[in-house]
Structure 1
Amino acid sequence: MSQPVLRRFARALTVAGCLSPVLFSCVSRPPTAAPAVTNKFTDPVLRQIATAQDERATEALLPFLSRPESQYRREAALAFASVQDKAATAALSARLTDDNLLVRRAAAYALGQTADSTAEGTLRQRLTADPDATNRRYVLEALGKCTSRAGLSSLVKLPAALATDTAALAGQAWGLYRAGLRGLTSEAAVARTVQLLGKTNPYGARLAAANALARTRGLNLTPYAAAIVAVAQNDPSYAVRSTAAAALSKASQAGNVPAALSALTRRDPDYRVRLSALRAMTTAQYAPVKEAAWDALTDANEQVALTAAEFFLNHAKGEPGSGLLEKANRLAPWRVRATLLAAALKQGGESQAAIRAAVQERYSATADPYEKGYLLKALGEDPAAYDFVAQATFTAGQPVVVGTYGLEALVAMRSNPAFPTELQPAFALLLQRAIGTGDVALLGIAAEAMRDPKLDMRRLFANTVFLRQARDKLLLPRDLEAWQSLQQTIDFLDKVPAVPLPVAKAASHPIDWAFVQAIPVGQRAVVHTGKGDVTFRLLVEDAPGSVASFVALVRQGFYNGKNFHRVVPNFVAQGGCPRGDGWGSSDYNLRSEFADLHYGEGAVGLASAGKDTESCQWFITHAPTPHLDGRYTIFAQVVQGMDVVSRLEIGDRISSIELVR
């Protein structure tokens, strides 16, 4: 999802299994032959706590924080990590001194999830007061989510007593990372983060530091290029090397960076590192890195090859379109080929018409709707293809995927500075036609284009009656994303404050506790695909409502025959959409369940359009992706078949999902 990180999820990551306990709570556990174990929700008090969490009932949850049983205090604190109500900050802060270390840990996690700056002082006091090293790590990470700009210095410089505490070093790195995601950083923070990349630091600290450098916006890492290059080349963990390579995009002025990225692209044994190196290459580096990118077009891993094609689409300068066409025609993977064809069209020149004709010919020859969609996406680089793409978008009886890609291509075309002025009125009428179809994807995409300030379309749509009529025909919560896009556009055109998102309440889809109790701890699901099988371990005790929904849909055969409709290299493979284009949903929404889990390699999460809007779509992460932590429900962990996940492509089919013990 515009494409949010994970549009339901569609517009919407442990090295080889579990992460070090000093870094994260482990999402997965090794397969065992132990018999199925009844889950914890046989306990009626735990069901009460989980129900209050699902209902976002702060007043009902607060008394459980004072129960004599530590188990209930802990579960109540964890519940607030999902509720995220600042009215609970004082009560959670009080639990930071609980006599049970697991309660203290849960309270720190929940305070971080609540992101209430008023908890900053209490958290800081616990840095040296808590005797448990892991708890101190939790406190530091929570500080990163709650700290003010003025308080950032307490994260940059640890108390002297913690200077050699490995758990504190990991916590400091995660705290700096979480603060960086919020836009809070400083020269001292960056310098300390680079120090935490050092090979003598624990894995958790190195991974967090690399992520902080890669994902904090606005950094100039040129002064630290040598240190980051060394990490990208030599760290024993692929996840640290990969993320450090990504951070080198912010050190593009350093003279040693192009050669280092080229070497990583050619030589690193892990495809995710090669891929990150390609993504870090910039337009300014085009000449010294392009030969490595050419070579990567034929990498054995298709995700790397696709990223190489995207490099040429985004950065190619002065390349003859005919040469890119020739290279594209020699490539077998259709998504790599289509992306390089897009790069050829973007270059323009004398061969433009011939390239356009070649793409249109491929479009007519293929029966794969996803390849058709990508070819329309390629044509979106060429305004001269407007009529062809418009006709393809609205052809009756075709798979909805084609129309979705087609309208996105037309919007991209309209954003091109070369789009003819005389076609602008026709484009406005085309958007109105898209609204009239009632198709949720076309509604959402067209409405988004209408409110894009760069397209300046407010003057063309002074009357919003047709948008209101289309909105009122939608069914909530199933059509939530289309409703939201239409409403935002109505508000934009009418120049009024935004209407809140109508999130479904728990009463509309309550958790069936009898159903949940029948799902054993250790329940597994085998996803059968054309590329092989992927086995999930379902996390019923951490995400009962989400797991119950998934199991119910599996038993109904809901996922049989669905496709993986979105695959972002070194990020996620996403499936479960009933439409196949990312705009589909079930007839109900779930509430987010943010347990103390983290997006490592093979985490399985639910896509959403915002908090408490989860439905039937899910995704699998290719690598640690901690910026998703606490934002998307984790309901399962891959325990077998990550090699299959790494080979999944758009259009790959889920033949069925089987529940096994």
Structure 2
Amino acid sequence: MNHLSFCRLAAATTALGSLSLGLPACTISPRTAATATAPNKFADATLRQIATAQDERQTAALLPFLDRPDALYRREAALALASVQDKASVAALSARLGDADAGVRVAAAYALGQTADSTAEMALRERIFQEKDALARQYALESLGRCVSRAGLGNLVRLPPALGADTAALSGQAWGLYRAGLRGVTSEGAVGRLVQLLNSANPYRARLAAASALARTRGLNLNSYAAAIGSVAQNDPAYAVRSAAAAALSKASQAPTVPGVLANLARRDPDYRVRISALRAMTAAQYAPVKEAAWAALTDAHEHVALTAAEFFLNNATGEPGVMFLEKANKLTAWRPRATLLAAALRLGGAEQNAIRAAVQERYATATDVYEKGYLLKALGEDAGAYEFVTKVTFAPARPVVIGTYGIEALVAMRRLAGFAVEQQPAFALTMQRAIASGDVALMGTAAEAIRDPKLDMRRLFANADFLKQAREKLVLPRDLEAWQSLQQTIDYLEKKETAPFPVAKAATHPINWSAVQAIPAGQRAVITTSKGLVVFRLLVNEAPGSVASFVDLVNKGFYNGKNFHRVVPNFVAQGGCPRGDGWGSSDYNLRSEFADLRYGEGAVGLASAGKDTESCQWFITHAPTPHLDGRYTIFAQVISGMDVVSRLEIGDRIQKIELMR
């Protein structure tokens, strides 16, 4: 699916932290330990029965397993309910918090957090005081953060004195405050406690969670904590913590020391991800004191840093002549930073606007890489004067799919410009109607999104939604689900109706192939040969059997051979596997989400989706820990070799082939 659903993910590009210091990048529960050739756990018919009920979202069939004599089945049933996420399971899972087996208690706590149901708050809070097992207590604390109310937040901020030196409890508290912060549940006391947890004497996981919470919780004013956070950003031994702390400094932009700290990090931190976080934390208000560091970053040895520096200028530069950025861009060799700097040149414009536009259009004409052409169209989206040029190439016969996708996005970007001519708005509406009628899912989905954007005020230009309904009927589900969703939302917008639940494919349309699953060893590896080098995955069949079986089947068919990485967000993800090459492609079936007890650390491999239970063939690799994805996107593999290659992947790099090995 197009954008991980997470995706309009460009809005969530702050990649936070990582598992450094030699720790495994993806936290895998002990039950998965296996040799590279060991059979997977699904030789057990009862485990297949539990997993099938999970896949079919049958809560009623899973609940009796919570009362089985064998702790293994109680634990697996609880973990299955973590994927189902049915609030009807809260009472039964709450009862398992007192299970005689600590592993069951851990699984029950995790599953309760996955329900995000406020009725689980009391049971989790009480368990914190009663729990004797450190890991189970840690899970209860983190899950409490997923369920806690504002009134109950104080119970998470203030641990009992007896737990003050318990490292597991400190980690659980930090992650609980992180999960609460993602939900917008925070307080001054919570922020103060998170800053305390940044102390280097605290365990790595606690520091990572605390820094990540400060970076990702919305609406915080961290000016009074700038010195403490800045010190962590410069001195913590773990790059992941430094990266998250640097990101958090964006919320302390009024502190006088912050620009200097960010400039220093952007120039000198040894890890490229920290340099990226520092550049992203720089604000327009800091433009003058950080500008030179950003200029220097344009020639950083790591292309992702150079791109982020170019994005800084695109987003924040003011009072500069556009032609200066044209000149800077022409000196760059990497096409993505160059195209982004050209976008800054067009945005700033000035007396040389026409010359800048002509230069970008000329570069478009001579570029040979389809993705570079796409990025040049994206740059032209900053200039309404390029409307006719972009329209022509977007709808040109036999143009590459990728060009149409970038082109329609550029046209919509132009329409959002303050300088877009009022008299041209009806023509834009007709262009969107043309895109809807094109039959191309990317054009249809993007145009439909623009039509329903209330800021563009396009409802008044359409007498009815008949043209959208006609286009919708030509789509094939579940393959075209994302475009279908966009069209349906726009139909409802024009007709002033509430949007009904979207049609998600049921398990019966693509059940788990248990014969195929049982043929996959627990340690199955996949070697991805890319145009930048080799990357090796370990497939997590015990945790995500349906997803792994689908991936293996597609690999055996050669489906991924010759596909591209179509989306790379620095310090976040590299995404590939799209049959169209633009992110809007899918297989002819959907998978159900498998939310095992795993975390998105560095090198975690997840399935993209357009919402729960809509996974397909696209997958992404994380550059660094991205804990906001935990429990929301299926993890089906882990990079065990080649992260240096992953860090250098760029848009357009090719997946030459994928081979299975043991």
Whether TM exceeds 0.5 here: the answer is: yes
Work out the CA distance in 1 between the residues paired with 2:349 and 2:368: 28
Which residue is equivalent to 2:265? 264
Work out the CA distance in 2 between the residues paired with 1:509 and 1:255: 57
Which residue is equivalent to 1:303? 304
Work out the CA distance in 1 between the residues paired with 2:283 and 2:230: 16
Deviation at 1:557, TM superposition (A): 0.3
| 1:531-565 per-position Cα deviation (integer Å, ceiling 9, x unaligned) | 00000000000000000000000000000000000
Which residue is equivalent to 2:353? 352
Which residue is equivalent to 2:162? 161
State whether residues 42 and 518 of structure 2, in contact with CA within 8 Å, keep that contact through their aligned partners in structure 1: yes
Work out the CA distance in 1 between the residues paired with 2:100 and 2:200: 36
| 1:29-56 per-position Cα deviation (integer Å, ceiling 9, x unaligned) | 99x9x55011000000000000000000
Which deviates the most, 365-374 or 228-237? 365-374
Deviation at 1:11, TM superposition (A): 9.1
| 1:338-362 per-position Cα deviation (integer Å, ceiling 9, x unaligned) | 0000000000101111110000000
Which residue is equivalent to 1:553? 554
| SS, match of residue 136 in structure 2 | helix
Work out the CA distance in 2 between the residues paired with 1:656 and 1:8: 28
Work out the CA distance in 2 between the residues paired with 1:18 and 1:124: 33
Work out the CA distance in 2 between the residues paired with 1:546 and 1:8: 23
Which residue is equivalent to 1:432? 433
Say yes or no: does 1:342 pair with 2:343: yes
Q: Which structure 2 segments of 5+ residues have no match?
A: none
Work out the CA distance in 2 between the residues paired with 1:27 and 1:653: 35
Deviation at 1:319, TM superposition (A): 1.2
State whether residues 4 and 609 of structure 2, in contact with CA within 8 Å, keep that contact through their aligned partners in structure 1: no
State whether residues 3 and 609 of structure 2, in contact with CA within 8 Å, keep that contact through their aligned partners in structure 1: no
Deviation at 1:20, TM superposition (A): 7.5
Which residue is equivalent to 1:523? 524
Which residue is equivalent to 1:219? 220
Say yes or no: does 1:651 pair with 2:655: no
1:372–1:482 CA distance, 2 compared to 1 (3 A):
same
Work out the CA distance in 1 between the residues paired with 2:379 and 2:613: 35
State whether residues 50 and 62 of structure 2, in contact with CA within 8 Å, keep that contact through their aligned partners in structure 1: yes
Mapping 1:469-488, distance limit 5 Å: 469-488=470-489
TM-score norm. by structure 1 comes to: 0.97
Which deviates the most, 555-564 or 1-10? 1-10
Which residue is equivalent to 1:405? 406
| SS, match of residue 656 in structure 1 | strand
How many residues align structurally? 658
Which residue is equivalent to 1:534? 535
Work out the CA distance in 1 between the residues paired with 2:599 and 2:393: 42
Mapping 1:2-17, distance limit 5 Å: 6-7=6-7, 15-16=19-20
1:293–1:26 CA distance, 2 compared to 1 (3 A):
farther
| SS, match of residue 526 in structure 1 | strand
Deviation at 1:322, TM superposition (A): 1.1
1:378–1:504 CA distance, 2 compared to 1 (3 A):
same
Which residue is equivalent to 2:503? 502
Deviation at 1:64, TM superposition (A): 0.3
Work out the CA distance in 2 between the residues paired with 1:298 and 1:155: 45
Amino acid of the structure 2 residue aligned with 1:182:
R
| SS, match of residue 504 in structure 2 | coil
Work out the CA distance in 2 between the residues paired with 1:46 and 1:28: 13
Q: Which structure 1 segments of 5+ residues have no match?
A: none
| 1:362-418 per-position Cα deviation (integer Å, ceiling 9, x unaligned) | 000012110111000000000001000000101111110000000000000000010
Mapping 1:94-173, distance limit 5 Å: 94-173=95-174
1:230–1:105 CA distance, 2 compared to 1 (3 A):
same
Which residue is equivalent to 1:43? 44
State whether residues 519 and 540 of structure 1, in contact with CA within 8 Å, keep that contact through their aligned partners in structure 2: yes
| 1:418-464 per-position Cα deviation (integer Å, ceiling 9, x unaligned) | 00112111100000100111100000000000000010000011211
Deviation at 1:19, TM superposition (A): 4.3
Work out the CA distance in 2 between the residues paired with 1:356 and 1:205: 50
State whether residues 565 and 581 of structure 1, in contact with CA within 8 Å, keep that contact through their aligned partners in structure 2: yes
Work out the CA distance in 2 between the residues paired with 1:658 and 1:27: 27
| SS, match of residue 416 in structure 1 | coil
State whether residues 600 and 625 of structure 2, in contact with CA within 8 Å, keep that contact through their aligned partners in structure 1: yes
1:478–1:128 CA distance, 2 compared to 1 (3 A):
same
Which residue is equivalent to 1:86? 87
State whether residues 309 and 340 of structure 1, in contact with CA within 8 Å, keep that contact through their aligned partners in structure 2: yes
| 1:461-483 per-position Cα deviation (integer Å, ceiling 9, x unaligned) | 12111100000110000000000
Work out the CA distance in 2 between the residues paired with 1:308 and 1:430: 34
State whether residues 3 and 608 of structure 2, in contact with CA within 8 Å, keep that contact through their aligned partners in structure 1: no
Work out the CA distance in 2 between the residues paired with 1:427 and 1:28: 57
Amino acid of the structure 1 residue aligned with 2:168:
A
Work out the CA distance in 1 between the residues paired with 2:416 and 2:296: 31
Which residue is equivalent to 1:255? 256
| SS, match of residue 640 in structure 2 | strand
Deviation at 1:2, TM superposition (A): 10
State whether residues 322 and 349 of structure 2, in contact with CA within 8 Å, keep that contact through their aligned partners in structure 1: yes
Say yes or no: does 1:637 pair with 2:638: yes
Which residue is equivalent to 1:566? 567
| 1:295-350 per-position Cα deviation (integer Å, ceiling 9, x unaligned) | 00000000000000000000001111111111100000000100000000000101
| SS, match of residue 454 in structure 2 | coil
Which deviates the most, 395-404 or 482-491? 395-404
Cα root mean square deviation, aligned: 1.8
Work out the CA distance in 1 between the residues paired with 2:10 and 2:538: 23
1:631–1:171 CA distance, 2 compared to 1 (3 A):
same
Work out the CA distance in 2 between the residues paired with 1:654 and 1:517: 27
Deviation at 1:130, TM superposition (A): 1.1
1:348–1:387 CA distance, 2 compared to 1 (3 A):
same
State whether residues 3 and 610 of structure 2, in contact with CA within 8 Å, keep that contact through their aligned partners in structure 1: no
Mapping 1:323-334, distance limit 5 Å: 323-334=324-335
Say yes or no: does 1:597 pair with 2:601: no
1:18–1:46 CA distance, 2 compared to 1 (3 A):
farther
1:27–1:610 CA distance, 2 compared to 1 (3 A):
farther
State whether residues 605 and 636 of structure 2, in contact with CA within 8 Å, keep that contact through their aligned partners in structure 1: yes
Amino acid of the structure 2 residue aligned with 1:270:
D
Mapping 1:178-189, distance limit 5 Å: 178-189=179-190
Mapping 1:373-452, distance limit 5 Å: 373-452=374-453
State whether residues 115 and 145 of structure 1, in contact with CA within 8 Å, keep that contact through their aligned partners in structure 2: yes
Percent of aligned positions with the same letter in both sequences?
73
| 1:125-164 per-position Cα deviation (integer Å, ceiling 9, x unaligned) | 1112111111111000000001111110001100111111
State whether residues 128 and 161 of structure 1, in contact with CA within 8 Å, keep that contact through their aligned partners in structure 2: no
Amino acid of the structure 1 residue aligned with 2:328:
K
Deviation at 1:4, TM superposition (A): 6.3
State whether residues 8 and 615 of structure 1, in contact with CA within 8 Å, keep that contact through their aligned partners in structure 2: no
TM-score norm. by structure 2 comes to: 0.97
1:570–1:480 CA distance, 2 compared to 1 (3 A):
same
Work out the CA distance in 2 between the residues paired with 1:29 and 1:528: 26
Deviation at 1:6, TM superposition (A): 3.0
Work out the CA distance in 2 between the residues paired with 1:322 and 1:329: 11
Which residue is equivalent to 1:492? 493
State whether residues 9 and 574 of structure 1, in contact with CA within 8 Å, keep that contact through their aligned partners in structure 2: no
Amino acid of the structure 2 residue aligned with 1:60:
A
1:35–1:282 CA distance, 2 compared to 1 (3 A):
closer
Deviation at 1:18, TM superposition (A): 6.7
State whether residues 10 and 566 of structure 1, in contact with CA within 8 Å, keep that contact through their aligned partners in structure 2: no
Which residue is equivalent to 2:63? 62
State whether residues 29 and 597 of structure 2, in contact with CA within 8 Å, keep that contact through their aligned partners in structure 1: no
Deviation at 1:25, TM superposition (A): 4.0
Deviation at 1:9, TM superposition (A): 8.0
1:277–1:149 CA distance, 2 compared to 1 (3 A):
same
